[in-house]
Amino acid sequence: MFSWSYRPLDGPAARLFRLLALHPGPHITAPAAAGLTALPLHRTRRLLADLTRSCLVEQPLPGRYTLHDLLRGYATELTHTHDDTDKRHAATLRVLYHHMFTAYEANLLFKQDSLPGLDLGSPATGVVPETFATIEQARRWFTAEHRLLAGLLQTAVSQKLDHRVTGLAWTRRALDHLERASALFEELGVAGEQVRALFVTAMALFRFGRHREALAPAEQGLALARSTGNKLWTAECLNGLSWLHSNLGRPGRGLVYGEEGIALYQRLDAPWQEAQCWDSVGYALHRLGRYEEAAAT
């Protein structure tokens, strides 16, 4: 049924629809979509309007676009069929760069100075960051993009993207932001979101070189996920702890966590996440000197 709306699209509109599946947030702005596609903003706005008229994209709030879950699944199938790995990787990298440089611009207003020692380089070709005239504009952007920024960090970590991107320009605020979010979710009793915040905090600490500190939120997230029966986040935390322990010189414990995570992913029929966990298990086996077994993973 979705194909009836997709097939009449011209090439650029069809490409935008497919690439929207790569965006990890619940919604996307036109400037971010322009970064995703490396197209000019004015042209991207027209394409988003075309997709909205075709009922492939919704606009729940002015300037913010989203895909229904079923349409996101359809777009995911299409992008893996029509866009090769390099093209998908480049699109993911561009949207990460867009938010990295936009967050940097927003953070400058909060800091009222430069950020010493933070060398972001230059935006990828086709990426035009958003700018802000006031602190209030920057605050609204950070508030609106809270869940997206957490998702982008998780994407960057899981795909092992360039270290400048995994750092992101908002790292100087991100940890405080995530810790406040975790405390707020605990107060509200929203366990699933609290687990997400704890997991992303752990992965952020790991990427910032604070490996031992990363264990506490990861273990707290695992305990909370187990207690609430959230099997997917239990498996995510197991995978994260597998990677952390192996990097801390405890590959035996890493292997135990990883094998439990794989078994859980298999029961959940989540092959993509299972493949990531096999990577963690392979790393643990390699650190244990079990090279043939590691290669087999």
Greater confidence, 258 or 61? 258
The stretch 76-81 carries a mean pLDDT of 91
Query: Residue 174 and residue 282: Cα distance in Å, rounded?
Result: 30
Paired strand residues for 65: 28
Q: What is the pLDDT of residue 117?
A: 47
pLDDT at 168 over 60: no
pLDDT at 160 over 80: no
pLDDT at 141 over 60: yes
Q: For the domain 170-297, what is the CATH superfamily, name and number?
A: Tetratricopeptide repeat domain (1.25.40.10)
Assign 3-state DSSP to the chain and report helix, strand, coil percentages, each to 5: 75, 5, 25
Output the CA torsion 111→117→121→127 (10° steps).
-20
Q: What does DSSP assign to residue 117?
A: T
Question: Which of the residue ranges 8-17, 146-155, 259-268 would you say has the lowest mean pLDDT?
Answer: 146-155
For the chain, list the strands marked E by DSSP. 28-29, 58-61, 64-66
Share of the chain above pLDDT 90, in %: 37
Indicate the fold that domain 1-141 takes in CATH: Arc Repressor Mutant, subunit A (1.10.10)
Pick from 49, 21, 20: nearest CA to 32 = 20
Pick from 106, 123, 95: nearest CA to 35 = 95
Average pLDDT, the chain: 82
Q: What is the pLDDT of residue 116?
A: 43
What are the domain boundaries of the chain? 1-141, 170-297
Q: How confident is residue 242, by pLDDT bands cut at 50, 70 and 90?
A: very high
The stretch 224-229 carries a mean pLDDT of 91
pLDDT at 207 over 70: no
Can you give the pTM of this predicted structure?
Answer: 0.56
Question: Which of the residue ranges 63-72, 207-216, 262-271 would you say has the lowest mean pLDDT?
Answer: 207-216
Question: Which of the residue ranges 13-22, 125-134, 174-183, 185-194 would you say has the lowest mean pLDDT?
Answer: 174-183
